[in-house]
């Protein structure tokens, strides 16, 4: 992690002073160096671009790229829950946000590392300005500003990076509500940068925040260029992830623990909003608890966890898996054999199973999940052999009644001879008591 040099130089200019400064500069046309077009809600708006001192712009405390790391910082440092959300004009919050942004700017691959780019060019392209509000809060460009400040005040200093002394800023003159600000940020950033720039956990946090702000599922989907069904899945899976981090790992807000498990959480989100589970809290609890057991298992390699999840939470195995977990922890829940497989067919006993699972404390070194997977996997392999041998027999019976083409007889006979040979070898291996 990069050493933060410019933190002590971060100091927030009074909001009223910022508003007056921007208004004054915009009133003189010679200060406007261009118009920056932005497509918003299907229409193109052009924002006037002016130069502002590097110290002038204010970091957006609700920046999408730092939502997960903000939460971790708050929990790790015992800060109030609203340290960032209510700290837009706070020097202390701005300083910490600077640190988070610098690490974001320097944590990407070489192709997307802001420091690598700015060290190389040593200047800021005015044709791609920072976008700020009428009072100087950054809508788009938080990482770029943090990078320039870090280089300007630290590495090489003012002499080497003198071109960063002032920053081209496109001004959104309309006073934006919190919802409008969020929507504009989505339009500018999320749709364009979704795959390259944002961690998947940050996208989840952003969806969660917009849901709390009162955006409907459909509105969030439009803002982010996603399907409404995907938003529903995202909300569902983040709820489970937060439970998992808090209750299983005692690491609330530390999303680094799940970074390598994206596919598991994607799948559990899909399952939680599916027909078999939708609307049934007990069934949801069973799905969530089994997923958390898998995710926390430190004795299973990360790359293997998704395969295990697919087996244990296959629609025919969910209830069986739940019962095996309960039994392995010394509990004696019993249900009708007809309800021991598919969650879809589970009856009244599902509540008892959910309650029993809820009472079990998940431990990282628990070997129960690996054992259950091996049992189910062996059963699957055994069923495959039976099914395959039955299929072969049925096909042989069928072709026995078919006319055999003259041109293919030699090859068919070779195949049948090999089949007979392989079948004899396999039959000798099978010992029947």
Per-residue model confidence (pLDDT) at position 141: 92
How far is Cα 292 from Cα 309, in angstroms, rounded to an integer?
10
Average pLDDT over residues 331-356: 67
Share of the chain above pLDDT 70, in %: 90
How far is Cα 350 from Cα 369, in angstroms, rounded to an integer?
20
Q: Which of 223-227, 352-356, 381-385, 398-402 has the lowest mean pLDDT?
A: 381-385
Per-residue model confidence (pLDDT) at position 385: 66
Per-residue model confidence (pLDDT) at position 1: 64
Q: Which of 86-100, 221-235, 340-354 has the lowest mean pLDDT?
A: 340-354
Same domain, 300 and 210: no
* In a domain? residue 280: yes
pLDDT in tens, 130-167: 999 999 999 999 999 999 999 999 876 777 888 899 99
* In a domain? residue 192: yes
Same domain, 15 and 134: yes
Q: Where are the alpha helices (DSSP H) in 214-301?
A: 217-224, 228-243, 262-272, 281-296
> Bridge partners of 130?
169
Same domain, 258 and 145: no
Burial status of residue 354 (CB atoms within 10 A of its CB: 0-12, 13-18, 19 or more): buried
Per-residue model confidence (pLDDT) at position 426: 79
Helix (H, G, I), strand (E, B) or coil at 133: strand
* In a domain? residue 411: no
* In a domain? residue 117: yes
* H or E element that contains 306: helix 302-312
Residue 237 has pLDDT above 50, yes or no: yes
Q: Which domain holds residue 278?
A: 252-374
Per-residue model confidence (pLDDT) at position 42: 74
Nearest to 113 by CA among 3, 197, 1, 202: 197
Same domain, 301 and 347: yes
Same domain, 187 and 310: no
Helix (H, G, I), strand (E, B) or coil at 39: strand
pLDDT bracket for residue 367 (50, 70, 90): confident
Same domain, 29 and 96: yes
* In a domain? residue 406: no
What pairing do the DSSP bridges indicate for beta strands 130-133 and 34-40? unpaired
Residue 342 has pLDDT above 60, yes or no: no
pLDDT in tens, 98-136: 999 999 888 755 556 888 888 887 888 889 999 999 999
Same domain, 218 and 266: no
- 235 neighbors 208 (Cβ within 8 angstroms): yes
Question: What total number of domains does the chain contain?
Answer: 2
pTM of the model: 0.74
**Residue with the two structure tokens 């996208």:** 203
Q: Where are the alpha helices (DSSP H) in 7-55?
A: 15-27
* In a domain? residue 396: no
* In a domain? residue 428: no
Nearest to 164 by CA among 236, 212, 114, 204: 114
pLDDT bracket for residue 194 (50, 70, 90): very low
Q: State how far Cα 257 lies from the chain centre.
A: 12
* In a domain? residue 23: yes
Domain end: 354, 374, 394, which one? 374
Ordered DSSP codes for 54-79: TT--B--TT-GGGHHHHHHHHHHTT-
Average pLDDT over residues 169-187: 91
Same domain, 320 and 182: no
Per-residue model confidence (pLDDT) at position 193: 47
Average pLDDT over residues 234-263: 92
pLDDT bracket for residue 195 (50, 70, 90): very low
Same domain, 120 and 208: yes
Residue 94 has pLDDT above 90, yes or no: yes
What pairing do the DSSP bridges indicate for beta strands 166-172 and 130-133? parallel
| Residue 347 CB partners (closer than 8 Å, separation 6+) | 335, 336, 339
Per-residue model confidence (pLDDT) at position 344: 60
Distances (CA, A) of 330 to 67, 317, 358, 368: 41, 20, 14, 12
Angle separating helix axes 350-358 and 281-296, nearest 10 degrees: 40
Average pLDDT over residues 251-256: 88
Domain end: 374, 394, 421, which one? 374
Same domain, 186 and 294: no
Q: State how far Cα 165 lies from the chain centre.
A: 36
Average pLDDT over residues 171-188: 90
Same domain, 73 and 157: yes
Domain end: 374, 402, 420, which one? 374
Same domain, 113 and 163: yes
């Amino acid at each position: 992690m990069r050493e933060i040099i410019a933190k002590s130089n971060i100091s927030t200019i009074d909001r009223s002073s910022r508003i007056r400064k921007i208004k004054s500069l915009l009133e003189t046309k010679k200060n406007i160096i261009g118009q920056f077009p932005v497509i918003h809600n299907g229409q193109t708006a052009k924002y006037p671009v002016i130069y502002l001192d590097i110290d002038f712009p204010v970091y957006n405390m609700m920046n999408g790229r730092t939502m997960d790391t903000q939460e971790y910082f708050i929990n790790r440092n015992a800060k109030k829950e609203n340290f960032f959300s209510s700290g837009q004009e706070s020097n202390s919050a701005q300083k910490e946000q600077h640190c988070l942004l610098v690490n974001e700017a320097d944590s990407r691959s070489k192709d997307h590392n802001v420091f690598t780019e700015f060290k190389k060019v040593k200047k800021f392209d005015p044709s791609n300005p920072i976008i700020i509000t009428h009072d100087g809060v950054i809508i788009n460009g938080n990482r770029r500003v943090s990078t320039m400040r870090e280089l300007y005040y630290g590495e090489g200093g003012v002499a080497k990076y003198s071109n960063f002394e002032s920053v081209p800023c496109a001004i959104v003159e309309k006073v934006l509500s919190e919802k409008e600000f969020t929507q504009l940020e989505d339009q500018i950033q999320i749709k364009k940068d979704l795959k390259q720039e944002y961690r998947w956990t940050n996208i989840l946090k952003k969806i969660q925040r917009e849901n709390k702000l009162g955006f409907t599922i459909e509105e969030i989907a439009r803002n982010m260029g996603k399907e409404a069904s995907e938003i529903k899945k995202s909300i569902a899976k983040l709820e489970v992830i937060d439970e998992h981090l808090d209750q299983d790992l005692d690491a609330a807000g530390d999303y680094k623990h799940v970074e390598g498990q994206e596919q598991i959480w994607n799948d559990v989100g899909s399952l939680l909003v599916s027909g078999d589970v939708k609307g049934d809290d007990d069934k949801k609890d069973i799905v969530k608890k089994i997923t958390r057991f898998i995710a926390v298992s430190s004795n299973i390699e990360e790359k293997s966890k998704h395969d295990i999840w697919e087996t244990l939470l296959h629609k025919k195995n969910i209830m069986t898996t739940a019962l095996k977990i309960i039994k392995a922890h010394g509990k004696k829940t019993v249900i009708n054999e007809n309800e021991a497989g598919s969650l879809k067919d589970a009856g009244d006993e599902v509540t008892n199973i959910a309650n029993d699972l809820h009472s079990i404390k998940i431990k990282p070194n628990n070997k129960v999940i690996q054992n259950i997977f091996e049992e189910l996997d062996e059963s699957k392999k055994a069923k495959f052999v039976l099914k395959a041998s039955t299929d072969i027999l049925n096909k042989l019976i069928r072709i026995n009644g078919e006319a055999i083409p003259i041109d293919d007889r030699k090859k068919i006979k070779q195949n049948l001879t090999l089949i007979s040979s392989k079948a004899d070898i396999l039959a000798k291996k099978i010992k029947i008591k």
